[in-house]
């Protein structure tokens, strides 16, 4: 899960949400602004964070990616625009970036199951590197490639997931 809300300007200090290019109602934006300070940690588990990088590593996945995302974004076009790790952190909506970078921002946990037969560690490492560029190397950012155990789907049913989530809760 990636919670970066493209095209949504988020302000924790304003009493009314900032203008945005989205069609979110004022009520939806207000609820989001109330929710953000309550989020203490975000966990990213064995994810795909960069479609073009995924296809560079696994050309055989092209069929699946095109079925899910279409073909218009191939090879550095729209897929890169929609891919957070391809963006400079300062291109995020200002208040979102400020919230993630703030001292009181959420702790960020990236995990990868080394036995994952569908994804190598490359996606998770790239995502961790991008987050480190955003928030800096600190105790707010953690990488774990030993707690999740099992295959791509199997790691979600192994007790390692519970251990990882316990780490997240205890540190967040």
pLDDT score at 126: 93
How far is residue 39 CA from its own chain's centroid? 14
Confidence of residue 139 (pLDDT cuts 50, 70, 90): confident
26-77 pLDDT, tens per residue? 787 778 777 878 888 999 999 888 888 888 899 999 888 888 777 765 555 5
Residue 5's pLDDT band (cuts 50, 70, 90) = very low
Average pLDDT, the chain: 78
Tokens (6 digits) for 168: 């997240």
Check whether 149 has a pLDDT greater than 80: yes
Domain spanning 40-171, CATH class: alpha beta
Domain ranges of the chain: 40-171
Residue 38 CB partners (closer than 8 Å, separation 6+): none
Q: What is the mean pLDDT of residues 3-27?
A: 46
What is the reported pTM? 0.76
Bridging pattern class, strands 141-144 and 107-111: parallel
Q: Which residues contact 40 (CB under 8 A, 6 or more apart)?
A: 106, 107, 172
Confidence (pLDDT) at 113: 95
pLDDT tens for each residue of 64-110: 888 877 776 555 556 666 677 777 766 666 667 778 888 888 999 99
C-alpha distances in angstroms, 157 versus 33, 58, 142, 160? 33, 25, 22, 8
Would you give the DSSP letter of residue 165?
H
pLDDT at 153 over 80: yes
- Look at residue 74 in the predicted model and tell me its pLDDT: 58
- In contact, 56 and 123? CB cutoff 8 Å: no
Residue 16 has a pLDDT of 38
The predicted model gives 147-152 an average pLDDT of 93
């Amino acid at each position: 899960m990636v919670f970066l809300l493209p095209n949504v300007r988020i302000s924790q200090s304003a009493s009314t949400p900032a203008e945005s290019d989205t069609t979110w109602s004022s009520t939806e934006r207000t609820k989001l602004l109330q929710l953000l300070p309550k989020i203490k940690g975000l966990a990213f588990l064995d994810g795909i964070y960069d479609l073009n990088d995924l296809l560079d590593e696994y050309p055989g996945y092209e069929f699946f990616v095109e079925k899910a995302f279409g073909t218009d974004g191939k090879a550095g076009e729209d897929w890169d625009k929609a891919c957070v790790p391809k963006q400079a952190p300062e291109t995020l909506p200002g208040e979102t970036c400020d919230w993630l970078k703030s001292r009181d921002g959420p702790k960020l946990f990236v995990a990868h199951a080394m036995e994952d037969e569908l994804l190598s560690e490359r996606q998770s490492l790239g995502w961790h590197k991008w987050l480190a560029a955003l928030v800096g190397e600190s105790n707010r950012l953690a990488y774990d490639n030993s707690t999740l155990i099992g295959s791509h789907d199997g790691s979600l049913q192994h007790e390692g997931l519970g251990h990882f989530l316990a780490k997240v809760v205890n540190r967040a």
